[in-house]
Structure 1
C-alpha cells in the first residue's frame, strides 16, 4: 500500500529532487580582479588587432595612391614632351613697370606765422582764451586740432577767407605729413574749399595763396617718381623702406582731380602741364602697386582729360599718345597703357585709340600709315613655325582698340574692311590644335571680335 501508484511514478513534479552534495564556492575580490584583468587583456588584444588591420589597410591605400601618382606623373611627362615637339613655350612676364624709386627726405612742416593770421588772432584776443590759454608757439597743434575736427574749413567759410599762412600749411601737411589723419583731413579741407562756389566761375571764399604745378611736381620728385622711366628697365620693387610711393600719393591724386574740376573758376595748369599730368597718371597705372588706387586714378584721368578745351584736345591727345608709346616696349605694358584708359567718354575713347595707334607705329618701326600696318598683319603666315603669336596677340589688341575705339577710324571703309579680313584669317587659319604659345588666344579673340563686336 505504501508503494506509489503508476501515474505517480511517471509525474516529474512528484518525483523527489536529487540531493546536491556539492558545496557552493565563495567568490572573493581577487577573483573579481582576475576576471576584470582578463577582460581588459582581451579588449586590448582586439584593439591591437584592429589597429594592425587599419594600418595594413592604410598602407595598401597609400601604395595604391603612390601607384596612381606615379602613373599620372608619367602621363604628364609624356604630354609635356609632346608639347615640346610643337615648340618650346616662352616665358612671358606680366605687365608692370617700376615708376617710383627711392624717396627723398620730406621737408619739415613748419608751423605758420600765426601772428599774421587775422582769424587766429581773433582767438588770441577772445576772452575765452584766458580759459584755453592758447599761445602763439602752440599754434601748430591748435591748427592740427581744427583741421582733424573739420573746424578749419567751417571757420574759412564763416570768415570767407583762407589766409596765405594757413593755405601753405594745409597744403604742405597734405603732401608731406606722416600722419594719415592729417593727410586725409587736409585733403578734405582743400576739396571743400575748391568745390565751393558763390557763382559758376567764383569761389565762395577768398584764397590768398594757391599752389602751382611746380609745387605738385616737386612733391612727386620727393616721392621718388621716375619722370624718365622705361618699361624695359627694372620692374621688381625693392624691399627698401625708402621705396615709393608713400601714403601721401592718395592726397596728391585727389588734389589734382579737384584742381582739374575748377577750370571755370581758375585755370590751375597750362596745356603742357595738363598733358604731363595725364602722362603721369597713365604711368602710375603701369605700376602694379597702384592697383588698389584704380578708382582714384580713373577719376583723376577723367577730370584731367575734360580739363582741356576743344581746341587744345586734338593736338594734346596726339602728344600724350606719342609720349606714352615712346616709353613702353612691345610687351604687355603697351596693352596696359591702352586698357587703363576707360571708355566712359568720347575723349577717353579718342585717347585710347590714339595710344593704340602710336604703339602700333612703334611696333612696326614707324610705319607710314594704318593701312600699311593692317596689310602687314593681313599677310601674316600663321603656319610658319617662326610666327610669334605673342606679338601677334599684342598687335591684335592694339588694332582692336585703334579701330573700334575711334568713330572716325571705324567709319573708314578701307581700314574697317582690312581689319575684318585680318580677323577672319586669325579665326580660320589658326588651327584649333595649334598648341604654340598664345595661338589659341589670338584665335579665340579674333573669333569673338568677328562675331560679337563687328
Structure 2
C-alpha cells in the first residue's frame, strides 16, 4: 500500500472524495459578462429598428391630419399676429430703404506737372562759397565752385546753413533761391524738411520787433507759391459735386512737398509787421485754398498743419480789412461747395481758437444757408423757412433738414453778435424745440432721428 493512497474512511466520506476528472476535449466555453452585455445591446437595437419601422406610417398619417387640422381650424390669435407683422412690414416699405449718403470729400488735386529743372545762376560766385574756396583748408576739402549746390546740401542737412545765416546776418540771393526751390520742388525728403525748417526758423525769429534778424537777398512772392501749387496738380477750379476718390488711389495724390509749402506759408503770414508778403486779395485766396485742402480726405493726417496755417492767415489781416474779407471768403466757399456733407465740412473745418475764426465759421454757414433757401434774404427768412417744414409729410427730406440744422447751429452759436439779437435767438430756440418734439422717436425715416437728437442736445446743453 502506497503512503499517498487515501484511507478507508476517506473513501466512505463524500466530502473528502476528490472531484471527478473532466476531459479537456468535452469542456464547454465559459461565457463572460462582456459577451452577455454585447448580446443585450444587439437585441435592444433590433427591437428599436422594428419599432421604428412600425411607427413610420403612423407619423406620416399624423402629419397629414395635423396639417389639415391647422388649415381648417387656425388659431385666431396667430392670424391676428401674422396680419400685424405684415402691416408693419408694409409701413417700413412705405418709408423706403435707408439711402446711402456719400461721405464728404472733394478731389482738389489732379494730374501733376513736371517739376522745373533746378537752375541756380550765380551760386558759385556767392560770398558764402567763395569764403570756403579761398580758405586754406580747402586744399583738404577740395571744394569746387561747380559743386556748390552739393556743398550747400551738406550745410543744410547738418544745420550749419542756419547758423551761418544768423552769424553773417545775411542770406544771399543765390542761396535764398536755391533753398526755396529745394523746399518746393525737391523729391528728397532729407532736403525738403531741413529747408522748410531753415526758413521757418529765419522768419519766426523774434530777435527784432520791426525787422527780420537777417537780411534776405531774395524772397518769393505769392505768384511763386501759387505756381508751385499748380505744379503739384492743385485744381483751382475744382467741383465738389463729384464723389471723392478712395484713399488707396494713386491718381491725384498730392506730393510730399505740400508739407513744407504749408509750413512756409504759415511762416510768411507771421512777418507782416516786418515784411508784408501778401496783398489782401492774395491772403483771401490763400484762406480759400486752405479750406479746399480741408475738404480733401487725403489731408486728414495734416490737420495740425492746416489749422496752424488757417489761423496764421486769418490773423494776417488788419481789423479794417477783415470785415469785408471775411464776407468775401464766405461767399466764395458757399458758391464752390455742393450742398451736401461737404457743405458742413467746409464750415466745421474752420478752427474756433480765435474770435476771427469763429466769425469766419459763422459767415460761411450763413452764406451756405442763403444759397440753400431760394428767396431768403436775411436770417429771419432762414429761420422762418426752417420752422415751416412739415415733419409729418412723407416727402420731408430729413437729410437736407439735418444739413440746414447744422449750418444754422454754426451760424448762430459761432457769432457773438447774434446773442444781442433777441429775434434770431428766440426763433432759433423755437426751431430746436419744434425739431425735438414734433419728430417722433419711432420715426424710421433716414436722418429723422439725427435731426431730433441734435436739436434736443443743442436745446439742453448748448443754449
Provide the TM-score with structure 1 as the length reference: 0.82
Q: How does 1:268-307 map to 2 (within 5 A)?
A: 268-307=277-316
The CA deviation at 1:82 is 5.4
Q: 1:234 to 1:432 in 2, by over 3 A?
A: closer
Q: 1:234 to 1:439 in 2, by over 3 A?
A: closer
Instruction: Find the aligned partners of 2:147 and 2:89 in 1 and give their Cα distance.
Output: 72
**Which residue number corresponds to residue 174 of structure 1?**
183
Instruction: Find the aligned partners of 2:307 and 2:87 in 1 and give their Cα distance.
Output: 48
Q: How does 1:281-360 map to 2 (within 5 A)?
A: 281-360=290-369
Q: Does 1:115 align with 2:115?
A: no
**Aligned pair partner of 1:236 in 222, 245, 259:** 245
The CA deviation at 1:240 is 7.7
**Which residue number corresponds to residue 437 of structure 1?**
446
**Which residue number corresponds to residue 384 of structure 1?**
393
The CA deviation at 1:136 is 1.0
**Which residue number corresponds to residue 132 of structure 1?**
141
**Aligned pair partner of 2:216 in 207, 219, 234:** 207
Instruction: Find the aligned partners of 2:189 and 2:91 in 1 and give their Cα distance.
Output: 56
Q: Relative to structure 2, which stretch is displaced further, 194-203 or 173-182?
A: 194-203
Q: Does 1:91 align with 2:89?
A: no
The CA deviation at 1:108 is 1.1
Instruction: Find the aligned partners of 2:247 and 2:302 in 1 and give their Cα distance.
Output: 20
Instruction: Find the aligned partners of 1:438 and 1:5 in 2 and give their Cα distance.
Output: 116
Q: 1:292 to 1:280 in 2, by over 3 A?
A: same
The CA deviation at 1:224 is 1.0
The CA deviation at 1:149 is 1.2
Q: Relative to structure 2, which stretch is displaced further, 259-268 or 355-364?
A: 259-268
Aligned length: 400
* SS, match of residue 341 in structure 1: coil
Instruction: Find the aligned partners of 1:268 and 1:281 in 2 and give their Cα distance.
Output: 17
Instruction: Find the aligned partners of 1:331 and 1:131 in 2 and give their Cα distance.
Output: 66
Instruction: Find the aligned partners of 1:431 and 1:236 in 2 and give their Cα distance.
Output: 37
**8 Å Cα contact 1:112/1:166 also seen in 2:** no
Q: 1:77 to 1:146 in 2, by over 3 A?
A: farther
**Aligned pair partner of 1:374 in 379, 383, 397:** 383
Gaps of 5+ in 2: 1-5, 25-84
Instruction: Find the aligned partners of 1:80 and 1:400 in 2 and give their Cα distance.
Output: 36
Q: Relative to structure 2, which stretch is displaced further, 106-115 or 417-426?
A: 106-115
**Which residue number corresponds to residue 165 of structure 1?**
174
The CA deviation at 1:114 is 2.8
Instruction: Find the aligned partners of 2:460 and 2:325 in 1 and give their Cα distance.
Output: 35
Instruction: Find the aligned partners of 2:459 and 2:160 in 1 and give their Cα distance.
Output: 59
Instruction: Find the aligned partners of 2:289 and 2:8 in 1 and give their Cα distance.
Output: 131
Q: What is the aligned-residue RMSD (CA, Å)?
A: 2.8
Q: 1:4 to 1:375 in 2, by over 3 A?
A: farther
**Which residue number corresponds to residue 61 of structure 2?**
none
**8 Å Cα contact 1:98/1:237 also seen in 2:** no
Provide the TM-score with structure 2 as the length reference: 0.80
**8 Å Cα contact 1:109/1:177 also seen in 2:** no
* SS, match of residue 116 in structure 1: coil
Q: 1:4 to 1:448 in 2, by over 3 A?
A: farther
Q: 1:116 to 1:353 in 2, by over 3 A?
A: same
**Which residue number corresponds to residue 71 of structure 1?**
none
Instruction: Find the aligned partners of 2:300 and 2:117 in 1 and give their Cα distance.
Output: 30
